[in-house]
Amino acid sequence: MSTLWKSRYAQRTLGIKSSAIRELLKVTQKPEIISFGGGLPAPDVFPVERFEEACHKVLCEHGAQALQYGTTEGYQPLREMIAQNMARYGIVAKAENVLLTSGSQQALDLIGKLLVNRGDRVVVEAPTYLGALQAFNVYGAQYVPVPVDNDGLLTERLEASLRTGPKFMYVLPNFQNPAGVTLSEGRRHELILLADKYGIPIVEDDPYGQLRYEGEHIPPLVVLDRENLRRDNGFTLGNVVYLSTFSKTLAPGIRLAWIVAPEDVISKLVQLKQAADLHTSTFNQYVAYEVAREGFLDRHVKLIRQVYRERRDTMLQALHDYFPPEVTWTHPKGGLFLWVTMPEGTDSEALFRAALAENVAFVPGDSFYANNDHEGGRHMRLNFSHSHPDQIREGIRRLSIAVKMQLHAHNRLAIVDH
Amino acid sequence: MSTLWKSRYAQRTLGIKSSAIRELLKVTQKPEIISFGGGLPAPDVFPVERFEEACHKVLCEHGAQALQYGTTEGYQPLREMIAQNMARYGIVAKAENVLLTSGSQQALDLIGKLLVNRGDRVVVEAPTYLGALQAFNVYGAQYVPVPVDNDGLLTERLEASLRTGPKFMYVLPNFQNPAGVTLSEGRRHELILLADKYGIPIVEDDPYGQLRYEGEHIPPLVVLDRENLRRDNGFTLGNVVYLSTFSKTLAPGIRLAWIVAPEDVISKLVQLKQAADLHTSTFNQYVAYEVAREGFLDRHVKLIRQVYRERRDTMLQALHDYFPPEVTWTHPKGGLFLWVTMPEGTDSEALFRAALAENVAFVPGDSFYANNDHEGGRHMRLNFSHSHPDQIREGIRRLSIAVKMQLHAHNRLAIVDH
């Protein structure tokens, strides 16, 4: 009888496939497996006690409001707090420029809904965040991928892409998911000037910006855009819509993120969000506000930085100690991920299976390329935030066994081919 | 600079207008106004203490899991509890047939995403739930409205609508929003047979089913459909997708609702939900499970029924006492709303303004008609769940003044016209 439904599915569902990787990653739930696969924050740093105090306070003092329907825009004190916090990074926004969303994934969905007609082009990094591709795919986006190197998006390759008339660019400037690379300040300026020249707006996704473990903060695109525009006309927000989240600084289980945009864009997004889920959980917004206030968020972010820096360093050291010299990897200055590049011709799906046999998991690189062109076949994304340092070292040791086996197999095949 | 964005909005945003009513209703926030406008549950019956105990327990015992990312399908024990609870209403579903959503509005959005191509027809009641129209509008739905009377959808008028080849029917059988009417058992059977005959599936929206204040429970469409299909082939779930929610029985601020559907439909909806917001708040799912378990939900629903029944009775009595005889209204056997019908030619928007001047608010009927054909000009939706009985009585007194003024003005105009 389900065929009655199936024959009625809308056109947009045809592009939506069950992710093979997601299915494979399900096996990584087994306790004996060390998983570098998910993008999970470390539960060790969830501020559980602070959450408990906050829940208690919210329910005692604001129970009737916190459990009731709320406005689509979001809880006003939280919008104001977010605007104030961002001001320290030079992002000049009023509460009215902030829309609370049910995680950054909803922000991406709303942006796809707002901007993408079937067949519209979107400039993305290669590789880029898988979830953004999933969100935009629903609306029929086509992609113009621009490669990244250790300094992020290759702006010298951008101009040709902009000439294809894309609807917008989607960019992750800080500690990019999956590659862990950061867009240099020089390239940020180039990107803003090119966006302005071709009139192509930018969606700047910045979930990890606060989680920097070394080096100096680099101004976000939304700030550079404002400085660029102000020279002409004094606009405070213009060509860049900026996304960030509490998922990596407080906890992902509360599904709280936000969009910063000009007020008329916010107003349209509010209408779309109202149709999508009315509003984000009132209760979670009240609780997050109580958790974050009085400087707690800043203190907590410092703790997370310390914990994740140690884990990143452990992973980098273990890669250095265990991995063969033909394999290279990025050196992320923050965030949750690093990106491993194998010699050309390696099959990362075969490597994935070999790794599972050694009880260690990662995400094969293919998933992060927009056009499924298997550029990702020789890459793997490793998450370093979720596992303890001793697990990280052991996991990389196991992974190195799988990697060496694959390289030998590949070399043997190459010899046979020859 | 915002024009750079505006010129890029997707086609689907054109159908999305800011609701004039929503703007008007903002003024109803003033404390001196008694509002029958919103669809708000009474905060008096929010189980605040139980929520506090649940938050405490969840954070102490499951902090690391409850604050972490979760599966798109939903928290498994909650899915199982929902399946068990529904079984008492004859709805035979496994946990795997249940998808947790961020409120029923997201369920409607996902259904629109799954089924509606631009221009597809959807059979709806006239009047019907505004939020469903908003959700389906985004995907370009066209509507085939079928009128309701005191026994719900007029099934005798349905067959012609089904011949137009609609994608599905959207029906609220219990204590319908906005009209408060209930689809009779006889018509439920007719509806199921017609759906089967024409092969048109049904989306059954049942947010208020448990909130019945008089009369006997009537089997949901999803149950009747199953009985009908079983005669042929033993399917447990088939032509009906069923929606319900915790918003009216626990609290709307936690944004928790669910979809019941055949497993292959759930699987597709899961993919769409993953792209839309990854998953519904893990924390809220753990908390709702703790709140609802051990029979609390059932006991609490009994309390809500008692409180709302009194408020409904108060409103019915006040309407009887204060309203002129030309005006009629429905007698809802449950839910949150009743529907007032004024003599033909009344302008409910003018009435709305007159009511505001008397410090009382409602939602004019126009908003609930799919095709904006102003059938709703003589109707108003009154919510009886949110205000205290003394406020209800006073509010209806004030509203009766506005109504009488409008009727006199209308009669005068009619005389002048003549």
In a domain, B310, yes or no: yes
Q: Examine the fold and report which residue of A258, A293, A328 is the final residue of a domain before the chain moves on.
A: A293
DSSP B333-395: SBSSEEEEEPPTT--HHHHHHHHHHTTEE-EEGGGG-TT--SGGGGEEEEE-SSS-HHHHHHH
pLDDT tens track for A313-344: 999 999 999 999 999 999 999 999 999 999 98
CA distance, residue A61 to nearest chain B CA (Å): 10
Residue A307's domain comprises 18-39+298-417
pLDDT-derived band at B385, boundaries 50, 70, 90: very high
In a domain, A3, yes or no: no
Q: Tell whether the model's pLDDT for residue B226 goes beyond 90.
A: no
Chain A residues lying within 8 Å of B122, measured CB to CB: none
Tell me, what amino acid is at A220?
P
* CA-CA-CA-CA torsion sign (A127, A129, A134, A138): negative
Looking at chain A, the whole-number percentage of residues with pLDDT higher than 90 is 81
C-beta separation of A315 from B145 below 8 A: no
Instruction: Please indicate, yes or no, whether residues A339 and A406 belong to a single structural domain of this protein.
Output: yes
- ipTM value greater than 0.85: yes
Cα–Cα distance measured from residue B362 to residue B334, given in angstroms and rounded to the nearest whole number: 19
In a domain, B7, yes or no: no
In a domain, A12, yes or no: no
C-beta separation of A182 from A125 below 8 A: no
- A319-331 core/surface letters (b: 16 or more CB in 10 A; e: else): beebbeeebebbe
For residue A354, what is the domain's CATH number?
3.90.1150.10
Whether residues A253 and B52 touch (CB distance < 8 A) is answered with: no
Cα–Cα distance measured from residue B291 to residue B48, given in angstroms and rounded to the nearest whole number: 10
Instruction: Please indicate, yes or no, whether residues B322 and B261 belong to a single structural domain of this protein.
Output: no
> Given A8, A109, A262, which is nearest B1 (Cβ)?
A262
Using the Cβ of A357 and the Cβ atoms of chain B, whether some distance falls under 8 Å is answered with: no
Instruction: Please indicate, yes or no, whether residues B247 and B100 belong to a single structural domain of this protein.
Output: yes
Instruction: Please indicate, yes or no, whether residues B303 and B283 belong to a single structural domain of this protein.
Output: no
Instruction: Please indicate, yes or no, whether residues A87 and A26 belong to a single structural domain of this protein.
Output: no
Average pLDDT value for residue range A155-173: 96
Instruction: Please indicate, yes or no, whether residues B31 and B62 belong to a single structural domain of this protein.
Output: no
pLDDT tens track for B227-259: 887 755 555 678 999 999 999 999 999 999 999
Whether residues A105 and B277 touch (CB distance < 8 A) is answered with: yes
Instruction: Please indicate, yes or no, whether residues A320 and A276 belong to a single structural domain of this protein.
Output: no
* pLDDT score, position B2: 52
In a domain, B140, yes or no: yes
Chain B residues lying within 8 Å of A117, measured CB to CB: 10-12
Q: Tell whether the model's pLDDT for residue B262 goes beyond 60.
A: yes
Instruction: Please indicate, yes or no, whether residues B96 and B139 belong to a single structural domain of this protein.
Output: yes
Using the Cβ of B284 and the Cβ atoms of chain A, whether some distance falls under 8 Å is answered with: yes
Average pLDDT value for residue range B363-382: 84
Report pTM. Answer: 0.95
In the stretch 158-177 of chain B, residues with CB closer than 8 A to chain A read 167-168
In a domain, A6, yes or no: no
* pLDDT score, position A411: 77
Using the Cβ of B134 and the Cβ atoms of chain A, whether some distance falls under 8 Å is answered with: yes
Q: Which residues pair with B374 in a beta bridge?
A: none
Tokens of B389: 């009985």
SS3 sequence of A187-226? HHHHHHHHHHHHCCCEEEECCCCCCECCCCCCCCHHHHHH
For residue A53, what is the domain's CATH number?
3.40.640.10
> Given A52, A64, A239, which is nearest B46 (Cβ)?
A64
Q: Examine the fold and report which residue of B293, B315, B341 is the final residue of a domain before the chain moves on.
A: B293
Whether residues A255 and B9 touch (CB distance < 8 A) is answered with: no
Strand pairing class (B142-149; B121-126): parallel
Cα–Cα distance measured from residue B139 to residue B11, given in angstroms and rounded to the nearest whole number: 10
- A206-229 core/surface letters (b: 16 or more CB in 10 A; e: else): bbbbbbbbeeeebbbbbbbbbebb
* pLDDT score, position B346: 87
In a domain, A387, yes or no: yes
Instruction: Please indicate, yes or no, whether residues A136 and A191 belong to a single structural domain of this protein.
Output: yes
Average pLDDT value for residue range B282-309: 98
Instruction: Please indicate, yes or no, whether residues A240 and A303 belong to a single structural domain of this protein.
Output: no
* pLDDT score, position A4: 79
Average pLDDT value for residue range A122-131: 96
Using the Cβ of A255 and the Cβ atoms of chain B, whether some distance falls under 8 Å is answered with: yes
Q: Tell whether the model's pLDDT for residue A152 goes beyond 60.
A: yes
* pLDDT score, position A1: 46
> Given B65, B117, B263, which is nearest A10 (Cβ)?
B117
Q: Which residues pair with B203 in a beta bridge?
A: B170, B241
Looking at chain B, the whole-number percentage of residues with pLDDT higher than 90 is 82
Number of independent structural domains in chain B: 2
pLDDT-derived band at B411, boundaries 50, 70, 90: confident
* pLDDT score, position B316: 98
Tokens of A4: 């009655």
pLDDT-derived band at A254, boundaries 50, 70, 90: very high
Q: Tell whether the model's pLDDT for residue A156 goes beyond 90.
A: yes
pLDDT tens track for B189-220: 999 999 999 999 999 999 999 999 999 999 99
* pLDDT score, position A28: 65
In a domain, B5, yes or no: no
Average pLDDT value for residue range A40-67: 97
Mean pLDDT of chain B: 92
**Residue A324 has what DSSP assignment?**
-
Tokens of B90: 């004859």
> Given B6, B16, B49, which is nearest A275 (Cβ)?
B16
Average pLDDT value for residue range A403-415: 80
**Number of neighbouring beta carbons within 10 Å of residue A116:** 25
Using the Cβ of B52 and the Cβ atoms of chain A, whether some distance falls under 8 Å is answered with: yes
DSSP A268-282: HHHHHHHHHHSSS-H
* pLDDT score, position B1: 47
User: B212: helix, coil or strand?
Assistant: strand
Instruction: Please indicate, yes or no, whether residues B137 and B234 belong to a single structural domain of this protein.
Output: yes
Q: Examine the fold and report which residue of B270, B293, B316 is the final residue of a domain before the chain moves on.
A: B293
* pLDDT score, position A15: 65
Chain A residues lying within 8 Å of B120, measured CB to CB: 10
Sole residue written with tokens 């998933």: A367
pLDDT tens track for B22-79: 666 666 678 899 999 988 999 999 999 999 999 999 999 999 999 999 999 999 999 9
C-beta separation of B396 from B380 below 8 A: no
Instruction: Please indicate, yes or no, whether residues B84 and B56 belong to a single structural domain of this protein.
Output: yes
